[in-house]
Amino acid sequence: MKWMQELQKNVTTGEELACCFPDIQSDRRTEEMIRKYPVSIPAYYLSLIDKDDVQDPIRKMCVPSFGELDLEGDMDTSGEGENTVLQGLQHKYSQTALVLSTDRCAMYCRYCFRKRMVGKVAEETAVDRESVYRYIREHPEITNVLVSGGDAFLNENSVLQEYLENLTAIPHLDYIRFGTKTPVTFPQRITEDGELKELLCRYGKKKQIYVITQFNHSREFTEQSEAAVKCLQEAGIIVKNQTVLLKGVNDSGEVLGELLKCFTRMGIIPYYVFQCRPVTGVLNQFQVPLLRGYEIVEQAKNMQNGNGKCFRYIMSTRRGKIEILGKGAGDNEMIFKFHQAKRQEDKGRIFVRTLGPDDCWIE
Ligand code: SF4
């Protein structure tokens, strides 16, 4: 397929990085870093980077730095291992099943919370898909499935069709979601593949299909990425967005506010703004303290109309998705609420914590 050939041209080696970015050396240390956490940058996404600016936010999201070798943090901050019921299938919240359909992505984001596996190992992905479908069929409490990865749209169309054929036939599923960043990093996967659009159109008539994508900066909205979003919308897909709050990328009220405005303009539903997780190789580079994060989110919200405010600022933890609701009465007090909980006793629970200025996470 043409899109697969196109991906072969991605920047993946130290030598190629050094050709694009004069400040990067093609040496043993760079190659070691890439071996640990693979690099893959599509030509399209590369073209969005201001090559003269080492602090460019688009660059920060895709070009590696030695900070990734920092060992602090955790590789599985939201307890994905303990929620895995079959290889490649997680069942944390009773109504939702999550499928890790591939370990491949068009681009490997430097802040990825699945850094332990993306582009590296297929041990966590769903190889026995028949067992996955059987598990979902046998659990009527599951009302929706998120097919993710990696990037769900890095699967061949025949695999996507198989997911759609099986999942749309399960009566207790209300809808199906695909997690893909291709509209942002590799829009031609959508715009230049008529077969994919036709599949989504066809199966969307059986059950509602959502695409969950991840724009993090307004500069990612281009003629090409907007065309990809429009293409999905024309196929009847509801496009939702999850942004990650990232130091040096979108950690100002103005930058985040401009991004949120793009969503309402494009008819994309802003779903979550995620607190960046304390992942090894990520936290020291990208996490924003919670007190500061709350201020940024509030400032960004104040730039929106009602539609632009319909997202939640969320931490995805082992016990569930916790919303950062607002400031408490005391100094540095923050109010939190379980938006999704693994345990019954946590459902809807509200609690208060006093935070230090550098606290980026709570346990
Ligand atoms: S597209 Fe998603 S899964 Fe892939 S590297 Fe980026 S954040 Fe991780």
Mean pLDDT by 10 residues, the chain (363 residues): 94 96 94 95 98 96 95 94 97 98 98 94 92 98 97 98 98 98 98 97 98 98 98 98 98 98 98 97 96 98 96 97 95 97 96 97 90
Return the ligand 1 atom nearest residue 181 CA.
1
Q: What is the residue whose two structure tokens read 């942002």?
A: 184
Return the ligand 1 atom nearest residue 150 CA.
3
Measured in Å, residue 344 CA sits from the centre of ligand 1 at 30
Question: How many residues are there in the chain?
Answer: 363
Instruction: Please report the pLDDT score of residue 1 as a whole number.
Output: 78
Cβ(324)–Cβ(334) below 8 Å = yes
CA distances from 173 to 88, 97, 100, 168, 342 (A): 19, 10, 18, 7, 20
In tens, the pLDDT along 104-138 reads 999 999 999 999 999 987 889 999 999 999 999 99
Return the ligand 1 atom nearest residue 148 CA.
3
Measured in Å, residue 234 CA sits from the centre of ligand 1 at 25
d(CA 235, CA 220): 22
d(CA 246, CA 248): 6
Measured in Å, residue 117 CA sits from the centre of ligand 1 at 10
Mutate which of 109, 186, 246 for ligand 1 pocket (most atoms within 8 A of beta carbon): 109
In one letter, which amino acid is 363? E
Measured in Å, residue 207 CA sits from the centre of ligand 1 at 26
pTM: 0.97
